[in-house]
Amino acid sequence: MEQFFQQLTNGLAVGGIYALIALGYTMVYGVLKLINFAHGDLFTIGSYLGLTLLTSMALTDKLGPFFGILLLAVMVMILVGIVGILLDQVAYRPLRESPRLSAVVSALGASIFFQNTIMLIYGASFHVYPQNILPRMVVNVFGLHIPMIRILVLLASVVMMLALYTFIQKTTIGTAIRAAAEDQGAAKLMGIDVNGVIMIVFFIGPALGGAAGLMVGLYYGQVNFTMGWIYGLKAFTAAILGGIGNIPGAMVGGILLGVIEALGAAYISIAWKDAIAFLVLILILIVRPTGLLGERVAEKI
C-alpha cells in the first residue's frame, strides 16, 4: 500500500508537469489548428534558463528558498513566453495563409534549431541543478513520507492550471481566445484582434511549458538538451488523450497519463514505462478518437 501511494503521488506530480506542457500544445492547436512541434524545446529552454538564473543570481540565497524559487519561476515564464512570441512571429506568422503542412515543417525546423542552439550554448552533456536549494524535507501525510519537492511541484501545477482555467473561462480576453479558436472570421467581426489573441496564446503556452521545464530540473535534478523531445511527446499524448484543443482536457489528460505511467512502471515494469503511456494513447484513439473531453458540443447544422 505504501508503494502504491508513493507511486500515485509521484504520478500526480509528473502528471501535473505533463499537463502544463500539454496546455501549450492544446491552446496553440485551438487557435491555429497547428501542432507546435517546437513546444518541447521551449520546455527545455525553460529548464536551462532556470539553471542559469539560479546559479548566476543566487536568488535562493538572497530571498530564501521559497521566494527565490517563486521569483525564478516568474522570470523563466516571462522569458520563455517571449521566446514563444518570437517563435510565432518568425516561424509561423509568415505562413498563416499557406497550407498547414508548411507550418508543420516550419515547426519541426524550429525544434531542430532550438535543440542545436541549446547544445551549442550549454554543451551536449547532462547538467545538474544545484542541490540543497530546497530544504530536503520529507512531509508526513497520513503516515506517508512524501518529499517536499513533490508536493510543491503538484501544488504549483494545480495553482497554475486553476489560474489559467479562471482566465480562459471568466475574463473577456479568455472568452475572446475561445471565440477565436472556434471561428476566427466571426471573432474579427466582433472587433477582436485575432493576431493579438494568437500572441497571447503564444505567450501563455510557452510560459507554462517553461515553468514545467524548471520544475523538472528541480524535481529530477538534471537536464539535457534533448529532454524536450520525450516530454513533448508525452505531453502531446496527454493533449490528445484529453481531446486536443480542449483546455480542461489537457489538464485531465496530463494528470491521468502521469498516474498511469507511474503505476505501470511500478507494477508492470519500469522498462515498459513509455510503452504503457503510448499504449494508453492508442487505446483511447480506438475507443474515443476525439479524446476524453473532446467535442463537448454537438454543432447544430
| 13, burial (CB in 10 Å: exposed 0-12, middle 13-18, buried 19+) | buried
Q: Report how far residue 250's alpha carbon sits from residue 60's, in angstroms, rounded to the nearest whole number.
A: 32
Tell me the number of residues near other proteins by CB under 8 A: 22
143 binds other proteins (CB under 8 A): no
Q: Of residues 144-183, which lie at the interface with other proteins (CB under 8 A)?
A: 172, 175-176, 178-179, 182-183
287 binds other proteins (CB under 8 A): no
Q: Report how far residue 141's alpha carbon sits from residue 144's, in angstroms, rounded to the nearest whole number.
A: 5
The residue from 33, 62, 145, 296 that contacts other proteins (CB under 8 A) is 296
DSSP 298: P
Amino acid identity, position 51: L
Over the window 30 to 69, marking each residue x when it contacts other proteins by CB under 8 A and - when it does not, the resulting string is ----------------------------------------
Q: Are 235 and 275 in contact (CB under 8 A)?
A: no
| 297, burial (CB in 10 Å: exposed 0-12, middle 13-18, buried 19+) | exposed
Q: Of residues 186-225, which lie at the interface with other proteins (CB under 8 A)?
A: 186-194
Smallest separation, CB 179 to other proteins (Å): 5
Nearer to other proteins, 192 or 215 (CB): 192
What residues contact 189, with CB distance under 8 A and at least 6 apart? Answer: none
The residue from 1, 56, 99, 299 that contacts other proteins (CB under 8 A) is 299
Residues that bind other proteins in the complex, under the rule CB under 8 A: 172, 175-176, 178-179, 182-183, 185-194, 296-300
